[in-house]
Chains A and B, each alone.
Chain A
Amino acid sequence: MATRDADSTRIDVLEGDREGDESGEAAEANVGWRYTLIQVRRDPTALVGLAIIAFMGVIALIATIDAVVFGYLAQYSFFSNLGVEQYWFARTYWVNPAIDPANPTPLLPPVGFENTFGQGTWAHPLGTDARGRDILVRLFYGTRIAMTVAVVSTVLALVGGTIVGSVAGYYGGWTDDVLMRASETIFAIPFLILVIAFMTAFGRDLTFAMVGVGIATIPTFARLIRSRVLSVREEDYVEAARAAGLKDRDIIFRHVVPNSFAPVLVQATLQVGINIIIVAGLSFLGFGAQPPTPSWGQMLASSRGYLLPNPWYSIWPGLAILVTVVGFNLFGDGLRDALDPRISNQ
């Protein structure tokens, strides 16, 4: 029954393509994609993952617009006259007039709880940190850092790994040896030490955190795609492309990579989750977003000293990390099932 369903969907997809697409190339990309999305739609856990990712993505987007875009626009009188200012969103919807910035109340618990510092209020739904800053707002803006750094570093690794792995796998021989031995060398160095060394050399900046994590994860992707390329390059259509006179570069990026990409895509989704943890770890150690820019890892780090008086301070950022990572993992698993029917049918 399950297989019959899958088949009929497949046919639907294809018929949709034939009616909808005039140009061959648009259809080319669609067959795989739409089929995959339909498969994912049937998978409730993947949908939960997707919902979490979407939720976090929207928050990150709003936070980015509020913190970065508005901050940039506010420099121009045209926009600032319209009322645009940095953290406009937070000020309008968040900052409670009842809060007196001159008299912060530190380490408040969430609403409905009580501790030695006072009673939780709706002014600070999740409580306040050691300096009396609202935890919810900091979480909100921390999402931006976590998502951006994790996604950008994954994309860097994905692109770099795909190039390295596909070239190594396609050419084989000494090219393969040189590239893969170099990857393994990176792999052999403990991950955090590598990134920290990188950031110490170039700067304790978020940009270098992204680049460092990206470079350090290139080997994961390179190995993955290489193993697929090794089998794809033996396919007759690759030979046929060579017989047609295609250049190696075109063969790799038109035929070999697209047909080797599925496991890499799954790994990329999972890697975003892993990178969120890594970035949080870096921030915890002080490498990453520098205060006062809020980030989850740094919140965790500063909450260390207040575990007993106000445990909530450390629970919230931990929970945010947990939920986001689980979201990416659920979606990655769903994607894997959709892309590789052999596993899902077991």
Chain B
Amino acid sequence: MTDDPLLSVRNLEKHYPITEGVLSRQVGAARAVDGISFDIAKGETVGLVGESGCGKSTAASSIIRLEEPTGGEVIFNGDRASSATTANDERSNDVTEFDDERLKAFRRDAQMIFQDPSSSFDPRQTIGGSIAEPLEVHGMNDRARRRAIVENLLEDVGLAAAEYDRYPHEFSGGQKQRIALARALVLNPDLVIADEPVSALDVSIRAEILSLIDDLQDRYGLSMLFISHDMSVIRDVCDRVAVMYLGEIVEIAPTGEIFSNPQHPYTEALLSAIPTPDPRSTREDIELKGKVPSPTNPPAGCSFHTRCHRVIQPDEYDLEQSHWRALLTFRDEVAEGTVDVEKTRQALGADAAGDGDDEGASDAAVKRQLRTNFDLPETLSDREAEGTLTEALDHLLGGEDDRAGELLSTTFTTPCEGTEPALTDRGTDHQAACFLTESEQSFREPVGVRTD
């Protein structure tokens, strides 16, 4: 039992149904969380990182059952929940199956810290009352004792006991986040889920709160799930990191490993977004282009292929990687019908206005402009590819958008959109879901991260 992880998440899913019409017929689902699995050991901090909208927060609230997950298991081995199990061995430790009574016991063991400190306290309740509320719920009816515990805790998080009777609006964001910590710790839980606890704070206060979290974690022996979109915060706090993209975990590894040897292009892009303090750094930033795909209709195959800067070329081409990326983006937009030739022509015409040419720009100029818009070069290095592109542009200008789209879609394909990559081992404790293998990536240098 002692070797078991505190929390094991297995294939957790949270799909929001999309309904239509008066009868609320379900026409689809937003796959906010689409089968994620990871473990948290006792005393460990696991980071969950990803851009906004990738399902991190949904994952958190599904794990703690603030929202009902639609699939998967969450096995929790906290002290109190376990003792409840021994009373009746039939029952598993799956949080998603807990009845009301066990859920209440689970609430003692697992607490949450919210992102926005300004909305996480009832404005009509004193902060002492807010912190003491969980105690009251779990049966501590002695008012004086509740107060003593809370005052103690307030001092632990760096506030004065006298602040007990003050109201939330009298505190700054950083102070409120300290209070939120106190509230999360008041029941002495085993697990704390922190949903972007510092992203609403100033940088200077952020460091204080992070070190406070670290301190308290040591003192209380907490396990943590730390959710953030900010890699630099993750580096300070976490033992292991799971990277999420569009409801799925694309890479999971110990923190040091993920910073020194990222195996997934998305991780790489996230890492490159960390600002470097060195102004002479020659690191090249990776800028992800394109819209984040909707979780209602995730792209086929690897869900990242629509934005991936390392998207794989089929064997027959040997284009420059950035040109290949541009080509695929162009292909997708033409297929979606979002490329507006007339608008481009008018924009060009407006630039060249004044010479009385009502016709707008010439076809050649429009084609050139389209290429620049999509970062495509004047000519592609591969002649066959160039031929197809020119033909597609001709179709586009001829108003035959469908034909252009079809031509591009059938000619340019990438292995990434075929099947979905599974998480594969990339070293000790290190897994990533990408078709690029270890060997193909070995030419890479660690992206702009100082591994000191």
A residues in contact (CB < 8 Å) with B? 14, 17-18, 21, 24-25, 27-28, 31-32, 235-237, 239-246, 250, 254-255, 258-259
Contact status B119-A236, CB under 8 Å: yes
Is B137 within 8 A of A244, CB to CB? yes
Is B124 located at the chain interface by the 8 A CB criterion? yes
Known: A236-B116, A236-B120, A237-B122. A14 touches B170 (CB 8 A): yes
Report chain A residues within 8 Å CB of B104.
245
Q: B108 and A245: CB pair below 8 A?
A: yes
Could you say which residues of chain A place their CB within 8 Å of the CB of B138?
Answer: 245
| Contact status A245-B134, CB under 8 Å | yes
Contact in complex: A236, B114 (CB < 8 Å): yes
Chain-A contact segment, one of B125-133, B206-214, B440-448: B125-133
Q: How far is the CB of B166 from chain A (nearest CB, A)?
A: 8
What number of residue pairs across chains A and B have CB atoms under 8 A from each other? 77
Q: Across the interface, do A240 and B112 meet the contact criterion of CB distance under 8 Å?
A: yes
Complex interface: chain B residues within 8 A of A241 (CB): 122, 133
Tell me if A240 and B126 are in contact (CB < 8 A).
Answer: no
Contact partners of A235 in chain B: CB under 8 A: 119-120
Q: Does B121 contact A (CB under 8 A)?
A: yes
B64 close to chain A: CB less than 8 A: yes
User: Which residues of chain B are near A242, meaning CB under 8 Å?
Assistant: 66
**Beta-carbon contact of A24 and B107 below 8 Å:** no
On whether A14 and B64 interact (CB within 8 A), knowing A28-B129, A237-B121, A240-B183, the answer reads no
Cα A236 to Cα B177 in complex, Å, equals 13
Q: Which residues of B contact A31 (CB under 8 A)?
A: 124, 167
Within 8 A of A (CB), among B149-192: 164-167, 170, 183, 187
Contact A246 B133 (CB under 8 A): yes
Residue B399 at the chain A interface, CB threshold 8 Å: no
Assembled-state Cα–Cα distance A28/B165 (Å): 9
Q: A28-B126, A243-B107 are in contact. List 13 more A-B contacts (CB 8 A).
A: A14-B170, A18-B165, A236-B116, A236-B120, A237-B119, A237-B120, A237-B122, A239-B66, A244-B183, A245-B104, A245-B107, A245-B108, A259-B122
CB closest chain-B residue, reference A24: B126
Residues of A within 8 A of B120 (CB): 235-237, 239-240
Instruction: Write the nearest CB–CB distance from A30 to chain B, whole angstroms.
Output: 10
Q: Which of B112, B128, B170 contacts A243 (CB 8 A)?
A: B112
Q: Which residue in chain A gives the minimum CB-CB distance to B134?
A: A244
Q: CB-CB < 8 A to A250: which residues of B? A: 137
Taking the closest CB of chain A, its distance from the CB of B122, in whole angstroms, is 5
B125 — which chain A residues lie within 8 A by C-beta? 28, 255
